[in-house]
Every structure is written in C-alpha cells, then in structure tokens.
Amino acid sequence: MRVAGVLQRHGASSSGGLLGRGVAAALEWKQCGASELCGACGGQQQRRPFSTDGPFRYIKPKFVERKKHFNEVLIFGDRRKLLDTAQDVLNDRGREFPRAFWEILAKRCIQSLHLFNALELAIIARAFDAHSVVLKRPDLDIYGSIASSVLQLQGRHPGVANVVLADVLSRRLPVYKLSLLQDILRKLGRQAADSMWELSASHAVRLLQILTEAAVQDPALCSRIGGKLLAQLRNNPSPHEAAPLMHPEELGNAAAAFAGQNQRNLELLRELELHTRGTVAAPLVLESLAKLGIDVLPDEPPDLPLEQQAFLGEQRGQQS
C-alpha cells in the first residue's frame, strides 16, 4: 500500500519511465523511518516476542532426587521384608490384621518360596497358624505351597524347624492331602534323627506323636528318641540345662506314641510307668503297656542290709 501511494505521488503517465520511477519509489520507501511506519500503523509500534519464558523464569527450581524404597512396601517386598513382617506378626499375636494384609502376604510368600530355607519356612507357617488364617482361594494355599517346598529342600534342616513344620502342616493340611503329609513327615523324621542334639525331649516326643497320628513308622527315630528320653528320666537335668522335667501328661503321650510305633523298649517303658504312677497319665501308660503285651511288675522290695558279725570279745562283753 505504501509503494502504491509513492507511485501515485510521482505519477505514472508514461510506461517508458516506469522502471526508473519504481526504483526511486523503492529508495524513498527505504528512507522512511520508524516514526513514519508507526504513524502508518495507527501510532502503535508492534514488537515480535523473541522468548518463550513466562513470568516465573527468574525462579530457579531445586530438583531433589527422592529415594523410592519399593522393597519396604509389602506388595513389592523382598525376602527380608517378608521375614520381618512374619516375625512382627508372631510377636503381636493379639492384634487382628485385615484380610487384605494376609492375602498380600500369602501371595508374596508363595511367589518367593524358592528363596526360603527350612527355618524361614517354619517362621512363615507359624505366623499364619498363630492367627488361624484360612484363605479359601486356590492360588493362596499357603500351607500346601509350603508343603511342596519342604519336599524340594536340600541339606540338613534345623531341629526346631522340623518340629514346627510337622506340627503346623499336620493340623493345617486337608485330609485329601494325607499322602503328601506322610511324605513330608518321613522326610522331617529322617532330618530330626540326624539333629537330635538340637531338640529337647519334649519336642522329640511331640514329633514322634505327630508321626504316630499320621500312621508313619520310623524305627530309627523311635530308638533315638527313646534313648534321649531314657537318659533324661534317669538323670535329673543339671541347673545349667535348658530342658526342664517333662510333665506327666507328656510322659503319657510318649508311652502312647511308642506303643503306636510298636517300640518295645522295656527299660524306657518301665521308667515311664514309675514316673507316672499316681498321676493322671498313669491309665494311659498302662493302656500302652497292655497294647504292647507287657505285664507290669510289682515293685521289688528294697535289699535289707546284712548283719555285721561282731568280734568274740565284743560278744562276751555284751553278754556279761
């Protein structure tokens, strides 16, 4: 528009000088200042923005790299987190945990069973057993999964782990898994026979009782438990020994377990009958003896001391 106005000002009468007048108009357009340009645009000078920064461009952000401990969340917990949670649950048996907590814990434990050893499996099994947790979903069968993992374990098991696993699985596995339970108890019995020095007499008797109730025969384990129990009954434990004297009911259960295993250890059964005489466990011991076809012998009278022969001089002095 400005070029057209300049051309009209000079006039365009002849077409021959059109080129020269166009050049002159272009030079005049170049000489136009900013003031004329602003006037032509209505008195407002327009500026094109040259930056995309906002009004907060002077605020310098401080980026802090936050540590995300996903292993401390139960649903993403690692092996250590799962064991710590199981131990906390055991230490707080009076607290009721929500069902969602047990489902997440069971799911994570089942996914990580290949990482646990026998003692850690016993801790997890006892944690669910102490709170009587029953999860009916097939994918959350924690006891069945632990039972399958026990059969795949290699190496020696701690003695207390054998007792805990046998106690929990014998009560929590359903009846239709009896064959699986018997296989587990046979393996735990062999492991306990090799680690008898780690078990107290009470724990050993409890393990033998579990095997007897499941119709599992283990003569080697019976002989070792019988020798351990006989030594404890004959010799009172020293003050420094951790194992206290057994309760009469435990002795009665021991007699019933040996009878169920068809173990005819006459010395042991005699000691059991003597230690339970006059207690509530006496009928159970007598019934076990009768089942094995062993007669109860009466007490032998104590040996009377022999009379000492006196010298002839003493006899004469006494007579006089």
Indicate the burial class of 12 (C-beta count within 10 angstroms; 0-12, 13-18, 19 or more). Answer: exposed
Predicted local distance difference test score (pLDDT) of residue 308: 44
Kindly report the pTM of this predicted structure: 0.67
Predicted local distance difference test score (pLDDT) of residue 119: 94
- Tokens (6 digits) for 135: 């999860």
Residue ranges, the chain, pLDDT below 50: 1, 3-4, 6-7, 11-16, 30, 34, 37, 237-244, 300-320
CB of 287 within 8 A of CB of 316?
no
Predicted local distance difference test score (pLDDT) of residue 263: 87
- In angstroms, the CA 313 to CA 319 distance is 10
The closest of 222, 224, 246 to 234, measured between CA atoms, is 246
- Tokens (6 digits) for 316: 């004469």
- In angstroms, the CA 268 to CA 106 distance is 44
The predicted-structure confidence for 39-48, as pLDDT tens digits, reads as follows 555 555 555 5
Please work out, in degrees rounded to the nearest 5, the angle formed at the alpha carbon of residue 232 by the alpha carbons of 166 and 251: 60
Please work out, in degrees rounded to the nearest 5, the angle formed at the alpha carbon of residue 125 by the alpha carbons of 211 and 176: 55
Instruction: Count CB-CB contacts under 10 A for residue 109.
Output: 27
Please work out, in degrees rounded to the nearest 5, the angle formed at the alpha carbon of residue 216 by the alpha carbons of 253 and 224: 60
Predicted local distance difference test score (pLDDT) of residue 43: 52
Instruction: Count CB-CB contacts under 10 A for residue 308.
Output: 5
Tell me if residue 150 falls in helix, strand or coil: helix
**Straight-line distance from the first to the last Cα atom of the chain, in angstroms, rounded to the nearest whole number:** 173
Predicted local distance difference test score (pLDDT) of residue 6: 45
CB of 130 within 8 A of CB of 164?
no
Predicted local distance difference test score (pLDDT) of residue 307: 45
Predicted local distance difference test score (pLDDT) of residue 44: 54
The predicted-structure confidence for 235-247, as pLDDT tens digits, reads as follows 754 443 444 468 8
The predicted-structure confidence for 1-37, as pLDDT tens digits, reads as follows 454 454 455 544 444 465 566 656 555 554 555 455 4
Separation in Å, CA 246 to CA 175, 196, 229, 253? 31, 17, 10, 11
Indicate the burial class of 306 (C-beta count within 10 angstroms; 0-12, 13-18, 19 or more). Answer: exposed
Predicted local distance difference test score (pLDDT) of residue 305: 46
CB of 140 within 8 A of CB of 107?
yes
